Every structure is written in structure tokens, then in C-alpha cells.
Amino acid sequence: MYSKKFGRLILGFSTRCSTSVVNGTITSTRTTVSWTSVCKHHMQFLERRSQMGFAHVRIRSASKTTVDPNEVKRFQLLANKWWNEQGDFAALHSMNDLRVPFIRDHLLNAHGGRRPGKPLAGLRILDVGCGGGLLTEPLGRLGADVLGIDPVADSIGTAEVHAWHDPDLRGNVRYRAITLEELSEKGGQGAGQFDAVLASEVVEHLADLETFTLCCNQVLKPGGSLFITTINKTRLSYALAIVAAEEVLRIVPSGTHDWDKFVSPMELERLLESNGFHVESIRGMLYNPLSGAWSWTESTSINYALHAVKLEEEPNLDQDDPEDPTVIVAQAKARRWYS
């Protein structure tokens, strides 16, 4: 999240610093911005630490929980600020201009329109890490039955109070202070119940992406959609989200973001496809801190949106011809996905 106060600095840096990924290696051009060396030296430290085995392994952790207690404490302090459109969550408010149509259009392509004015009517959606309900509410207004969950009880309280003032939401939007893994437990109310799961600006705050992915698979119906927006793990995202915002200008409190928790589209796609999903689309997102608006971009070097679909239930492979090469490949993929 970036403030308008350093918009010109960010835009100037963005025009002079470019990043690319070649054979899995992040490269970056130098810039004349005075604090670039700070970013470069710290990035080199992070990379050396990773090569020596000291980096935290976030993708495949054995923690078996998605909740990071430090993140819970941080968002606890912000629980009453969710609906201040000019405050700490201003960028999330404006992000709805992209993420709501992104979610709506993919669901309409999969399910078709249900009702004029309520195109998502009849669909059940789970909003993970919903905070104050910034994304939950507009999807409820589109007719979907939306459940917003968050481990921060005070944020859920803020969301409930705000939704109560809109009579149109009372039959469509509900909230629970619960974790994703608690909801997804076998035999629980959330198992296999949802047509779509949302995790917008959430995964970069989680303790364990492996557990998150498995739980999303558990709560989705076969063929259900998973929507994620997050921050890429590049030098440019480090420079903007951490160095500029936290260490130099002190606009965002130090520690808001952890570069180790950022995940690249390639890593996220690999994780999802090894856990029963097929990634259908990835799109770059760009925030203009001067106008406060988001736009789509070809580059995924900073922010990006991803849509994945849960694979259908495992087919009965015994009925297929074991000599058919296509069947052999399909069987191998199915064993990998469902093992």
C-alpha cells in the first residue's frame, strides 16, 4: 500500500528502474535515486542468506497454520480504520475498481448470469482475510452469498457494524471470526461448500502458504474458483513496499511487509498446481499514488491478480485403456494432484 505523499518519488523510480526474470533469476537496472544502494545491499543480503539456507521457508512450512500472530497484532491496531477511504486502506478501496470486475467476469464465464442486477445470485463465496469487508460487501450487492472470515475479531466487528447499515446486504453477507483451517476441517461447515474463494492482499501476510492452498482446496466445490491478489517478490516490489514506504519515508510503519513472504507468480502457480488447482490467468496490476487509481498492466513485477480453478474430482482410472499414452499421462498427473 502506497501513500500519495511519495507518489512522485515512486513514479520517478518506476520509470528509471526495470526488473525482469530470466531463467528464474531476478535482474534489475541501476537508478539514480539516492537510496537505491540501500535497497541493493539489503537485497544482496537477503539473497545470500537464502543461498546459505537461513531464509525462512514460507511456501512449504510445517507450521500447519495460516495465522501469523505478529500480523494479527498489527491488524488489530487498524481494526477501526477499514472504512476510512482516505486513510491507511485507501489503496484497497480503490482496488475494488479492478478486483470486483475481475472476480465477477470470471464467475460469469463459469456459471453464467443468474438474475438481472444480481449476476452472482446463487453463488457462495468465501472471502478469506476479509478485514472490514471492503471486498465482501460489493460482491454481496451483486447477489452472491458471501461469508467473510478473519482471525481479528475487532475487524469482524467493524465489518458487521458497517454491513448492518445496508439492508440490501443483510441476507447476503455474513462474517465470522475464524481461521481458514478451522473452517475447512473435514466435516466442518466449510468443507466443499463454496463456488469461489477470495484472498485479496492476504497471502503476503500468512504464516504458511502450503496450508492455505490445501485449505482452499478443501472448502471449494470441484470446479470452484480461487482468486488471489498479492505482491511479487522482486527488487522493485522490495524497493517500493519496504525501502521507500517503511525505511526511508516512514509513511508505513516499519515491519508492515516482510519480503520473505512475498511470492512470485511462478512460485504461486507451481504451488497451486501441485495441490489440485489449474491456474487460468495472471494479470499485472499497477497503482498510481498520484491519482489513487489502479490499472491493469502487462508487468507483474509489483502487484498481480491470479485466477485458478479447483480440478474436478479424480476420475475412475480403471475404466480407461492403460495402454493409451494420454491415459498414462493423465494418470500420472492425477496421482501427483491427489497424492
Cα 186 to Cα 189: distance, rounded to the nearest angstrom: 9
Please report the DSSP string for 31-76 in residue order. Answer: ---TTHHHHHHHHHHHHHHHHTT-S---TT-S------HHHHHHHH
Any known ligand binding at 204? yes
What are the residues whose beta carbons fall under 8 Å from the beta carbon of 63, sequence distance 6 or more? 207, 208, 211
Cα 242 to Cα 219: distance, rounded to the nearest angstrom: 33
Side chain identity, residue 162: H
CA of residue 19 relative to chain centroid, distance: 21
Contact between 302 and 238 under an 8 Å Cβ cutoff? The reply is no
**Three cell numbers written together for 302:** 509489483
Any known ligand binding at 210? no
Any known ligand binding at 267? no
Contact between 172 and 145 under an 8 Å Cβ cutoff? The reply is yes
Any known ligand binding at 200? yes
| Closest C-alpha to 125, from 182, 178, 181, 195 | 195
Q: Which residue has the cell 466443499?
A: 192
Any known ligand binding at 42? no
Any known ligand binding at 201? yes
Cα 1 to Cα 287: distance, rounded to the nearest angstrom: 9
> Strand 173-176 relative to strand 293-297: parallel, antiparallel, unpaired?
unpaired
Any known ligand binding at 307? no
| Binding site per annotation, positions for Mg(2+) | 201, 204-205
| Binding site per annotation, positions for S-adenosyl-L-methionine | 99, 129, 150, 200
| Binding site per annotation, positions | 99, 129, 150, 200-201, 204-205
